[in-house]
Amino acid sequence: MGRERIVTGDQVAPDEDLTQYSLRPSSLSEYIGQKELCEKLEVVLEAARGRGEPVEHLLLYGPPGLGKTTLAHIVAREMGTKIISTSGPALQRAGDLMGILTNLNEGDILFIDEIHRLSSVIEEFIYPAMEDFKVDFVVDKGAFAKVINVPLKRFSFIGATTRAGMLSAPLRDRFGLYYHIDFYPPEDLEEIVLRSSGLLDIQIDREAAGIVASRSRGTPRIANRLLRRVRDYAAVKADGKVTAATAAAALEIEGIDSVGLDDLDRKLLETIIKYYNGGPVGIDALGATLNEEVDTLVDMVEPFLLKIGFIQRTRRGRVVSQEAAKHMGLKLLDNGSQGKLF
C-alpha cells in the first residue's frame, strides 16, 4: 500500500525540487553541517585548483535528503566548471551516455544520482571513461561490427547513492574519493531552518526553528518541507509569524511527534510491541501485518528508528527498545530474549 510521507528524505512532489534548489547553498562556506566532510573536500578542491587539474572522481553516499546533490553542485561552482546531471535509471543504453560524455569539456563534472541503479551495460561502458578518458563504441553488427575508440576530455565523475552496498566492486574501486553523509544533529538543522526562513521570507523565532529541527529526522530536506507546512499553518491560523506554539500545533496536525515519528513509524513500533511482544520478528512478517512493502519498511522507516535506537536488527528479526516503548506509552514485557542481540 503506497502512501505519501512528509518525513521521507525522498522527493514527494514534482515541484519540490524547484523549492529545494532555491534553498541550496552555493559554496562550502555557506554549507551548514558535515564539518569534517567539508574540511576534507575543501582541501581536495584547493589542491586540484592548484594543480590545474579536474577533481578526482568522487562518490557520495548516505540516506536521501542529506545534501549529496547539493554538494555535487558546490564542487562544480568551487571548481568553476559546468555540471551535467542525470540519474542511473535514466541511462538505459550506451548511446545515452555516449552523447553526454563526448559533449563534456575539460574539467566538466558528470553527476549521476542513484548510481547503484546503473545497468551492467552502462557500468562496463563507463569504466574506460573513468580510467583512461576514452570510450569504445561498437558500430554495425556481426561480421561488419567494428570498434571505434573515442577519446574524451578529462572530466570529473561524481556519483551519489543511498545504497552503497549495492555498487559493484569494479565501479566502487574506480572512485578516488569516498565521502559518507550522515544524519544532521538538531543544532545544525536549526541553523538550516533559520537560513531557509530568511530565504523564504518567513518570520520565525529560534525556539520555533528548534522545534522544526527536532522533528526533522536529521534530514535537511525534511526540515525545509516541515518549515513550509508550518508557514502555511501560521498564515491561516495565526498572524503569519511562526512561534513555538504555532510550530508545535502545525506539526501535531501533520501527525509528526516530538522526535519526528509519523503514523507509519508509530504503527510499526506498536505492531512489534503489541503483536510480537517487542520482538524479535522478521521483516517479512512485519510487512504482511502492516500491509506494507518490505522495501518501504527497510528503506524509508527503519533507518531513522535504528539511528535513534528505537529498534535493533538481530539475526532473529527486529526488536523494539525500552526507550521506544516508553515513547509510545506502552509497556514492554520482558520475554527473556527481548533486547538481546543474537
Annotated catalytic residues are 68-69, 113, 162, 221
Mode of pairing for the β-strands spanning 134-139 and 146-151 = antiparallel
- Measured at the alpha carbon of residue 296, what is the angle toward residues 18 and 337, in degrees to the nearest 5? 140
Q: Which residue has the cell 574506460?
A: 128
Q: Which long-range contacts (CB under 8 A, 24 or more apart) does 136-142 make?
A: 137/94, 137/98
Instruction: Decide: 232 and 249 in contact? Cβ < 8 Å.
Output: no
Residues 6+ apart with CB under 8 A from 208: 230, 242, 243, 244, 246, 247
Helix 68-79, helix 35-51: angle, nearest 10:
30
Helix 263-276, helix 283-290: angle, nearest 10:
110
Mode of pairing for the β-strands spanning 156-161 and 146-151 = unpaired
